[in-house]
Amino acid sequence: MTGSVPTTTTRREREIGRRRTFAIISHPDAGKTTLTEKLLLYGGALHLAGSVKARKAARHATSDWIEMEKERGISVTSSVLQFEYDDYRVNLLDTPGHADFSEDTYRTLVAADSAVMLLDNRKGVEERTRKLFKVCERRDIPIFTFVNKCDRVGTDPLELLDDVEQDLGMTCYPFTWPVLDGPEFLGVYERRAGLVHLFEKGEHHGQERVEETAFPLDGDAARDHLGPELVEKVREEAELLELAGAGWDQEAFERGELSPTFFGRALTNFGVEIFLEQFLRLAPPPRPRPSDRGPVAPSEEDFSGFVFKIQANMDPNHRDRVAFIRICSGSFEPGMEVTNARSGDRVRLSQPRKFMAREREAVDEAWPGDVVGVLDRGDLHIGDTLTEDGDLTFGGIPRFSPEHFARVRVPDPLRRKHLDKGLQQLSEEGAAQVFYEGSRVGPSPIVGAVGVLQFDVLVHRLDTEYDVDARLEAMPYSRARWVEGEEEAIRRVASGYGRKLVYDGKERPLLLFENDFSMRRTMEDAPELIFHEVAPGAPVE
């Protein structure tokens, strides 16, 4: 075992020091589900990772909550997967795979202390990886790189790392290097230790931990296992890396500029354990978090945390609503009372749970870096800061302007009340935004979303959770701006072609536009008005 936890003096410091809270960022299909499963396998949280055939079923059992995900085979909601490994407490923030739910992913990344960028060895940095990388970069969080699918002939590894550097401006420092690739992929060379790890191809299709043999590159074992030619090839490649690449710089890594890079084949667990051990050793424990009162250190005695996700009706047997809180300082005890800095209200954090997909386990204590889900009776919103006396606010939970709009109709007017309740709760969860023309009792509400699939989830959830048969009619708008100014001026501007005036749940006016051009022209023509991309007062990234 290479990992070791720093010696700490107090219990609090020890608990903080052993926590690693991270998320995996990738483009769909790079292997995130597979890698997540394998990390859980090594963490003892899963006894058998799904085999190739059973994998889809296993995936539903682990990270999906709602029916639609099963039907579509996509992961819509985020969950937090916790496990212990070698005295570390690992919190893996699972994020939705589909781009249409990226709002949720961006918010979840704010709760992470580091990220693992997973790349397909043939594709390198793809569109969604790039976007998620930018969110991490803005927060200066350290990023690891895992190059997956090395059993397939891919881009030459050096070229791939060069592309990452060109594309993202982040340098890769290979901790491991593939020994052969494509179908011949045998193992990896661990540079700093000078060790070759050879993996056994086993019959278990990656369901169990992989058997491996490790030996120094300079020695008889290497010659026996690899043959002199392959030893020479690995040595040459290692020398090339020393000459061509940057040296290891812990500080540059902690600033997010240098990425420890690993190669592997998640499908059969090749390279997963070496990665996990190095990850735990290098990844930072919870760090001070910026607030409007300056940085809050995790070691501070007073409790603080923020809500980054709200999920209703996770369990059809309990029609409840769970707020996920990332703890930033102090310690958490069930039933404790805190102050919501937004509303000033006292809130009791009751029935805390940690989540292992569908399973919920009671939490009796939690420390900075942990995520707990507490029962929410509607007092909490995404982005809320919770502290002992409500004296500070954490920023940085990103909000996005919707780009798809639809009118919601219910054929049965008697269900209108249920519709309004459902829409209000789902919008508080961040599942969609709700707008009205004039007043709530007026014509049918309008919903806005960043990704169009969010609408499908909305309709499905209105049906299953609120018993409302809702029909959505797409509207031609693709931009929204909240607008401040004289009401008359707003109405005048709104009367132009291709625009629409609506109000959000707090009766703040906003204009919808058909396209960018129409929006820009309107903004230029009305300098007396102030336009906001998201609701005023909400933090933007």
| Residues in touch with ligand G4P (CB under 6 A) | 26, 28-34, 52, 55-56, 97, 148-149, 151-152, 265-267
Residue with tokens 């004039």: 438
* Residue 510 CA from chain centroid, whole number: 29
Residue 56 or residue 492: which is nearer to ligand G4P going by CB?
56
Residue 437, Cβ density class (10 Å: 0-12 exposed, 13-18 middle, ≥19 buried): middle
Residue 263 or residue 306: which is nearer to ligand G4P going by CB?
263
* 230-to-189, 243, 266 alpha-carbon distances in Å: 12, 20, 24
The SS3 of residue 374 is: strand
The SS3 of residue 32 is: helix
Taking a C-beta distance cutoff of 8 angstroms, is the pair 422, 460 a contact?
no
Determine the Cα–Cα distance for residues 149 and 272; give it in Å rounded to an integer. Answer: 12
DSSP sequence for 494-526: HTSTTEEEEEETT--EEEEESSHHHHHHHHHH-
* 345-to-261, 270, 390 alpha-carbon distances in Å: 46, 51, 9
- Amino acid identity, position 194: G
Reading phi first (left if > 0) and then psi (alpha if -120 to 50, else beta), residue 447 is in beta
Residue 33 or residue 261: which is nearer to ligand G4P going by CB?
33
- Amino acid identity, position 147: V
* Residue 496 CA from chain centroid, whole number: 40
Write a three-state SS string for 136-169. Answer: HHHCCCCEEEEEECCCCCCCCHHHHHHHHHHHHC
Q: Which pairing describes strands 19-26 and 88-93: parallel, antiparallel, or unpaired? A: parallel
Residue 122 or residue 520: which is nearer to ligand G4P going by CB?
122
* 422-to-174, 307, 499 alpha-carbon distances in Å: 49, 21, 27
Residue 26 or residue 145: which is nearer to ligand G4P going by CB?
26
Instruction: Please enumerate in sequence order all residues whose Cβ is within 8 A of that of 134, keeping only pairs 6 or more positions apart, or say none.
Output: none
Determine the Cα–Cα distance for residues 508 and 504; give it in Å rounded to an integer. Answer: 5
Residue 16 or residue 92: which is nearer to ligand G4P going by CB?
92
DSSP sequence for 207-241: SSPPPEEEEESSSHHHHHHH-HHHHHHHHHHHHHH
- Amino acid identity, position 313: N
Residue 186 or residue 258: which is nearer to ligand G4P going by CB?
186
Write a three-state SS string for 44-80. Answer: CCCCCCCCCCCHHHHHHHHHCCCHHHHHHCCCCCCCE
Q: Return phi, psi of residue 9, to 5°.
A: -90, -55
Determine the Cα–Cα distance for residues 173 and 245; give it in Å rounded to an integer. Answer: 7
Q: How far is the CB of 74 from ligand G4P (least distance, A)?
A: 9
Helix axes 32-42, 55-63, angle to 10 degrees: 70
Q: Return phi, psi of residue 2, to 5°.
A: -90, -25
Residue 94 or residue 103: which is nearer to ligand G4P going by CB?
94
